[in-house]
Amino acid sequence: MNAIPDWASRNVSRETVDKLQAYAALIRKWTPKINLVAKSTLADLEVRHIWDSAQVFEERPGVWADLGTGGGLPGVVVAILAQEQKREMQCILVESDQRKAAFLRTCARELELPIIVMAQRVEDIPPLCAHTISARALASLDMLLGFAQRHLTEDGLCIFQKGAQWRQEVAEAEKNWRFAYEAVPSKTDVEAVVLKIKDIQRV
């Protein structure tokens, strides 16, 4: 694996780095078949995807649901980091693409991760009562807040990764929702942020 970023090196053990490396190897193996990530990003997979996902991890108890997880970004990475911290966290990965869901189950088996894979559309599953919800490249913020209202506990936290247009997305979402948010600068992309959102109410 590429050099560990300074912000992660203090908190990530060699064993966890090895497991992240094994996960990266699985992505590289499966991507030519089912396009887990853009093939153009495989050369820089660790920074563009693995460490980009790792930055959202927080030591939070309860259920962590990753919506539209695709190849497990950030859900699988979160599960690996939670395992290192020995957190009693239940990770639920929601992905409607059956081929990607099969990949996620392979990750769970080969990496020995206690994750639950739900191969359904986010709109179709019963409320998850999640304490934390993450999403990386799923939908507009306005739509994500609709998912959160259904699946988040009352005192829960959303952690959404957004790109350069995040301010515009917030402005659009505020037409339909009231919410408190913090925009944390991304550690891997100068134009991106990690939005931490709570207290969601429809206008």
Q: What is the CATH number of the domain that holds 54?
A: 3.40.50.150
Residue of 58, 51, 50 lying closest to 131 (CA atoms): 58
Q: Is residue 1 part of a domain?
A: no
Residue linked to tokens 């559309």: 121
Domain assignment present for residue 47? The answer is yes
Asked if the structure places residue 95 within a domain, the reply is yes
At residue 2, does pLDDT exceed 80? no
70 a known binding residue?
no
In a domain, 145, yes or no: yes
Rg (CA), the chain: 16
Judge whether residue 147 has pLDDT over 60: yes
The verdict on residue 125 lying in a domain is yes
DSSP class of 75: H
Give me the pLDDT at residue 98, please. Answer: 98
E strand or H helix that includes residue 198? strand 193-202
Report the mean per-residue pLDDT for the chain.
92
Contacts 24+ apart (CB under 8 A), 22-27: 22/110, 22/111, 23/50, 23/72, 23/76, 23/77, 23/80, 23/107, 23/111, 24/50, 26/103, 26/106, 26/107, 26/110, 26/111, 27/71
Structure tokens given for 64: 């962590």
Domain annotation covers residue 175: yes
pLDDT digits (tens, 9 = 90+) for 62-90: 999 999 999 999 999 999 999 987 777 89
Q: What percent of the chain has pLDDT over 90?
A: 79
Query: Residue 65: inside a domain, yes or no?
Result: yes
Structurally, the chain folds into a number of domains equal to: 1
C-alpha dist (Å) from residue 31 to 24, 26, 40, 68, 121 = 10, 8, 11, 17, 21
Residue 181 in any domain: the answer is yes
CA dihedral over 114, 120, 123, 126, signed as positive or negative: negative
Determine whether the annotation assigns residue 123 to a binding site: yes
Per-residue pLDDT reduced to its tens digit, 32-73 = 999 898 888 888 788 888 999 999 998 888 999 999 999 999
73 is in an annotated binding site: yes
88 is in an annotated binding site: no
State which residues form the domain around 157. 6-202
Q: Is 122 annotated as a binding residue?
A: yes
Look up residue 89 and give its two tokens: 């966290």
